[in-house]
Amino acid sequence: MSFTLERPLVFLDLETTGLDIKNARIVEIALIKLFPDETTDSFLTLINPEMSIPTEATKIHGINNFDVMDKPTFREIAVDVISVIKNSDLAGYNLASFDVPILTNELQRAGISYSLDDTKIIDVLTIYKIKEKRDLSAAYRFYCDKELASAHSALKDTQATLEIFKAQLIKYPDLPQSIDELHNLCNMRDERFVDKDKKFKWTNDEACLTFGKYRGFSLNRMAKENPAYLQWMITQDFSDEVRNIIRSALKGEFPQRPKNTINPSE
């Protein structure tokens, strides 16, 4: 390495029951501890989350309820986790916005007070975004091996986009070869969500809110217990798709989960 560690750096990755930071539970944790002398130690275990693992989560990480039924709970392995990460800094991919908050919540549930105030957080995803730009000039350089002169000139940008598209068709022979199929590829819905804006998420095949004080509540429940809130949502700055879903729910017509959807993250 080109830099010197002053204390161990622990690389962390979690598999969870979902993406909701507040309520997600860990089903697998992996830790690799890099010491200043460049030796490593690792810790890996499946975890019983003490709740049913949603099918949406299983489709992403492959861990189901049967896999964890006889595994320790997080409370049972929390001390082991602390022994690995204490007096260390943390690193990971999308660590700061996902893994660290979930780990912190799990430690709190386990009754363990552990402060990360003095812990340095290294997020590899952040470094990736900083160093590898994803603007049109970067795409032109990557696919066409040329520099984009007069960037942000409408005609030059459009010509470059055409060249990039042609280069993509050559570079990725498995891309669809028809406009209809390319349209479907570019507009795939994330199967975890009901709408494109991700205001409603599928939970046990029911459409549930993903935001606000009623996050996690199903549309069915809201229509029965708090229709006034749904009426208020219709007046807000949501997309036509979201408002139409709400209007239908108020009539007792609820979204039906498609049987064949594609999760672009898989």
- Tokens 């830790």 correspond to 31
Asked if 183 is an active-site residue, the reply is: no
Whole-number Cα distances in Å, 211 to 112, 197, 216, 219? 28, 11, 8, 13
* Among 129, 133, 146, 152, the one annotated catalytic: 152
> Which of 40, 47, 42 lies closest to 15 in space, CA to CA?
47
| Residue listed under structure tokens 């989350």 | 49
Residue 233, SS3? helix
Nearest-angstrom CA–CA distance, 76 and 168:
49
Cβ-based neighbour number of residue 74 at 10 Å: 23
Residues making up the chain, counted from first to last: 266
Q: For residue 197, give both structure tokens.
A: 């804006």
List, by residue number, the catalytic residues. 152
